[in-house]
Structure 1
Amino acid sequence: MKTEYLYKTPKTLLNKGTGFLSGYSHSLNPYTGCTFGCSYCYVRQMPVSTFREGEWGTWVDIKQGAAEIFRKELKRAKTKGDVSIFMSSSTDPYQPIEHNEMVTRSLLEVMVEDPPTFLFVQTRSPLIRRDIDLLLLLQDRVRVSMTIETDREDIRKYFSPYAPPIQARLETLRLLKEANVPTQATIAPMLPSSEGFAELLRPLVDRICIDDYFMGDGSGGKRTRNLKIDAMYKELGLEEWYHPSAYKMLYNRLIKVFPEEQIYISQQGFEP
């Protein structure tokens, strides 16, 4: 898939935390657009995507001068109270272009100099291992949330062919754990998985979050329905996984190997 990259100079980077992210004072997106272009991504149904000509996944705006803009905004925000940041709500901060552009790393460097109260980093990219040095400097003020929707690579390729392989994400979880970076595995959106998924995750994390389309797309599943995701499940003959109660099937597998207090459902797993 060919991607168009555009350099933009934003007026602002910090956005007020609202809705699903109301537990945070702010959200922070180093990029606009995301080359992973996952089929089920709820952002496809949001204005940031619907008002653009190219299909979601085919364009990315790189925010120039982000660190300097953010440094000033962060300082200003901290004068008004605690600053808790969700990075990122509508893009992956570690999508492939970050290898070269290092926008996300520059923002982390600012936060190491002037730490927020809390930073939540949401990604599905093994590239985050590059920044373990900075994450460690934030100590208990940070939590990494690594998306692992399934343990089945065939399912991953079907729903998100441009996203990183599952094995690379599992290896990244292992490295984060070894480095003592606070981390959780986020099964979101929950995709069909094998019965051994829970055992696979057990040695890698002590915190799990499960979310699905119905709880997590911010519209009770409406945005996802508009994407015709149900048809993809039908094509696979896995309709039982596309249901508001399907998450309980996975929960029952996880509870056999994880203590109850280590399993979080939907919004509670993303809270500071």
Structure 2
Amino acid sequence: MKLEYGYKTPKTLLNKGTGFLAGYTHSLNPYTGCSFGCSYCYVRKMPVSTFRGAEWGTWVDIKKDAAELLRKELRRAKTKGPVTIFMSSSTDPYQPVEYKEQITRSLLEVMTEDPPEFVLVQTRSPLVTRDLDLLLQLKDKVRVSMTVETDLDEIRKRFSPGAPSIQARLKALETLKAAGVPSQAAIAPLLPSSERFPDLLKSVVDRVCVDDYFMGDGSGGRRTRSLNMENIYLELGLEKWYHPHAYRIIVERLKEVFPGNGIFISQEGFEP
């Protein structure tokens, strides 16, 4: 699948935190579009995708001069009170093109110079470990939330073949933990997994957030239903995992190895 890259000069970067992200003052997206193209991504049904006229996962817009814009907006926002940032809400901040463009790194550099009250870095890319130096400078004002939907890479390949492998993500979490960067595993959205999943996670994180299509797609599951996700579960004979109560399966397994204060459900796990 050919990827198309473009350059945009945005007028604004910091957007008001609303809905699922109401606990944050702002959201921040270094890119528009996402080359991982996960089948279940709710952004497929949002205006940023539907008005594009191109398949989600085939295009990424790179935001030029983002660091200087953030520097100005962050300074202005902080005059109104504490600033908390969710990065990112509709793209992964560590797109493969980030290796070259370093937009996300430049934004983190701005935040180390003028730290917000808190920033959550939501990603599924091991590339986040490249920025250990900056994450460490932010100390307890940052948390890296690494998406690990399952421990079964064959399941990952069925739902998100363009995303990094599960093993690479677990290794990244191990690196973050060893360095002392606050982090968590986000089982979001919840995909079918094995009974050994909690033990794998316990070796690399002390904190886990569980979310699913019904709680976390911003529409009570309607966006996900429009993506026909249930058909994939039916094809795999795993329909028990596509249910509003399926998250309880993994939560009960997690409770066997994680303390109660290390397990979070949906929105609360992403709060500042």
Please tell me the TM-score bracket, short chain as reference: over 0.9
RMSD: 0.4
Task: List structure 1 segments (4+ residues) > 6 angstroms apart after TM superposition.
Answer: none
Name 2:250's counterpart in structure 1: 250
Name 2:63's counterpart in structure 1: 63
Percent same amino acid among aligned pairs?
72
CA distance in 1 between counterparts of 2:155 and 2:201 reads 17
1:111 matched to 2:111:
yes
Name 1:50's counterpart in structure 2: 50
Q: Can you list the C-alpha shifts for 1:109-128, whole angstroms capped at 9, x where unaligned?
A: 00000000000000000000
1:152-231 matches, within 5 Å, as: 152-231=152-231
Q: Can you list the C-alpha shifts for 1:147-201, whole angstroms capped at 9, x where unaligned?
A: 0000000000000000000000000000000000000000000000000000111
Name 1:13's counterpart in structure 2: 13
1:265 matched to 2:268:
no
CA shift for structure 1 position 265:
0.1
Could you say what secondary structure the match of 1:219 adopts? Answer: coil
Q: Which runs of 5+ in 2 are unaligned?
A: none
CA distance in 1 between counterparts of 2:195 and 2:207 reads 19
CA distance in 1 between counterparts of 2:2 and 2:74 reads 35
What amino acid is the match of 1:89? S
Q: Which runs of 5+ in 1 are unaligned?
A: none
TM-score normalised by the chain length of structure 1: 1.00
1:233 matched to 2:233:
yes
CA distance in 2 between counterparts of 1:91 and 1:269 reads 19
Q: Can you list the C-alpha shifts for 1:99-140, whole angstroms capped at 9, x where unaligned?
A: 000000000000000000000000000000000100000000
1:134 matched to 2:170:
no
1:95 matched to 2:75:
no
Q: Can you list the C-alpha shifts for 1:50-95, whole angstroms capped at 9, x where unaligned?
A: 0001100001100000000110000000000000000000000001
Name 2:143's counterpart in structure 1: 143
What amino acid is the match of 2:205? V
What amino acid is the match of 1:144? V
CA distance in 1 between counterparts of 2:150 and 2:56 reads 22
CA distance in 2 between counterparts of 1:31 and 1:139 reads 25
CA shift for structure 1 position 203:
1.5
CA distance in 2 between counterparts of 1:95 and 1:167 reads 18
Name 2:121's counterpart in structure 1: 121
CA distance in 2 between counterparts of 1:97 and 1:53 reads 22
Q: Can you list the C-alpha shifts for 1:200-254, whole angstroms capped at 9, x where unaligned?
A: 1111111000000000000000000000000000000000000000000000100
CA shift for structure 1 position 262:
0.4
CA distance in 2 between counterparts of 1:203 and 1:224 reads 31
Could you say what secondary structure the match of 1:127 adopts? Answer: helix
What amino acid is the match of 2:215? M
Could you say what secondary structure the match of 1:140 adopts? Answer: helix
CA distance in 1 between counterparts of 2:49 and 2:255 reads 37
Could you say what secondary structure the match of 1:145 adopts? Answer: strand
Could you say what secondary structure the match of 1:199 adopts? Answer: helix
CA distance in 2 between counterparts of 1:42 and 1:187 reads 15
- Total equivalences in the alignment: 272
CA distance in 2 between counterparts of 1:80 and 1:139 reads 23
Name 2:83's counterpart in structure 1: 83
